[in-house]
């Protein structure tokens, strides 16, 4: 089983968008997939609730839910036996104990970043948190950064590239700014489940991401 967390303490950078599309890509590949929503706002679970029943199944786990009487936290976070891919959607503002809880058992962390100076400044602090508080290196967790909502022909993320290079962190891919993600989200779909010719470019951008995420695992087929 592989566990991939989509994390950044900064709000609105695309965590839920990326987590839901990633879960749908895994599910369409045939992996038994679970989506853990640590956000009390429950956006990932809302996405699942509007997802058509004919779509590749994704098991929902309300990870933000308080544990009940006689129920341990570990029990509440259980995924079905045989689950092959777990995708974790995290809320904004995670740090400290919650960050460590979310990181438990995770092998890969994807960090979406918007290409703006404020977001780049915020993510550099968050990456320090992951390294120092989250002890990701000691746990052998892979970190990868995804620039999200990138507008064509702009390169405001040069500072981010420089910063990542100093930490020897990979910059995985960029995802462009497009309403395709908004439309997919509204329908409980991942970007790979849209057949419109307009998503061709987005699927190509995802191919790099899926390859990196599934390194050391059977190669993903892309449903282009
Ligand atoms: N590549 C994109 N192109 C266009 N819109 C996008 C893209 N990625 C995300 N969005 C939109 O940006 C908004 C924020 O995205 P999302 O909810 O995924 O962020 P988040 O990091 O999960 O936010 P929060 O911190 O509140 O949980 C949403 O309206 C989403 O549809
Ligand atoms: Mg979210």
* Nearest residue by C-alpha to atom 30 in ligand 1: 182
Choosing from 10, 12, 202 the residue with most ligand 1 atoms within 8 A of its CB, the one to mutate for a pocket test is: 12
The mean pLDDT value of the chain amounts to 90
- In percent, how much of the chain has pLDDT > 90? 75
pLDDT of residue 224: 39
For the cut 80, the answer to whether the pLDDT of residue 65 exceeds it is no
Which of 2.40.50.140, 3.10.20.310, 3.40.50.300, 1.10.287.3510 is the CATH number of 2-213?
A: 3.40.50.300
Which numbered ligand comes closest to the C-alpha of 191?
1
What is the CB < 6 Å shell around ligand 1?
11-17, 39, 43, 91-92, 148-149, 175, 177-178, 181-182, 185
Choosing from 6, 147, 181 the residue with most ligand 1 atoms within 8 A of its CB, the one to mutate for a pocket test is: 181
Q: Of all atoms in ligand 1, which is nearest to the CA of residue 92?
A: 25
How remote is the CA of residue 104 from the centroid of ligand 1, in Å? 25
Mean pLDDT of all residues in 111-119: 91
How remote is the CA of residue 14 from the centroid of ligand 1, in Å? 4
DSSP the chain: -EEEEE--SSTTSSHHHHHHHHHHHHHHHT--EEEEE--TT-HHHHHHHTS-TTSPPEEEEETTSPP-TT--HHHHT---TT--EEEEE--TT--HHHHHHHHTT--EEEEEE-SSHHHHHHHHHHHHHHHHTS-TTTTT-EEEEEEEEEPTT--TTHHHHHHHHHHT--EEEEEE--HHHHHHHHTT--GGG--SGGGHHHHHHHHHHHHHHTTTSPPPPP--
Mean pLDDT of all residues in 57-76: 79
pLDDT digits (tens, 9 = 90+) for 143-175: 999 999 998 777 777 878 888 888 888 999 999
pLDDT digits (tens, 9 = 90+) for 166-204: 888 899 999 999 999 999 999 999 999 998 889 999 999
């Amino acid at each position: 089983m592989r566990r991939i967390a989509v994390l950044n303490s900064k709000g609105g950078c695309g965590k839920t968008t990326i987590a839901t599309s990633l879960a749908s890509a895994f599910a369409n590949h045939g992996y038994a997939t679970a989506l853990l929503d640590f956000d009390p706002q429950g956006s990932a679970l809302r996405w699942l609730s509007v997802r058509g029943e004919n779509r590749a199944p994704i098991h929902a786990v309300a990870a933000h839910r308080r544990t009940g009487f006689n129920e341990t936290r570990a029990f509440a976070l259980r995924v079905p036996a045989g689950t092959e891919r777990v995708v974790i959607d995290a809320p904004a503002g995670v740090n400290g104990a919650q960050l460590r809880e979310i990181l438990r058992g995770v092998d890969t962390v994807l960090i979406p970043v918007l290409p703006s100076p404020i977001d780049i400044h915020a993510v550099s602090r968050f990456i320090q948190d992951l390294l120092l508080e989250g002890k990701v290196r000691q746990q052998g967790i892979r970190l990868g950064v995804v620039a999200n909502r990138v507008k064509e022909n702009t390169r405001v993320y040069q500072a981010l590239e420089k910063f990542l290079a100093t930490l020897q962190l990979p910059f995985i891919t960029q995802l462009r700014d497009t309403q395709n993600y908004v439309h997919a989200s509204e329908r409980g779909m991942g970007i790979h489940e849209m057949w419109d010719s307009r998503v061709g470019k987005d699927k190509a951008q995802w191919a790099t991401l899926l390859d990196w995420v599934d390194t050391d695992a059977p190669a993903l087929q892309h449903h282009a």
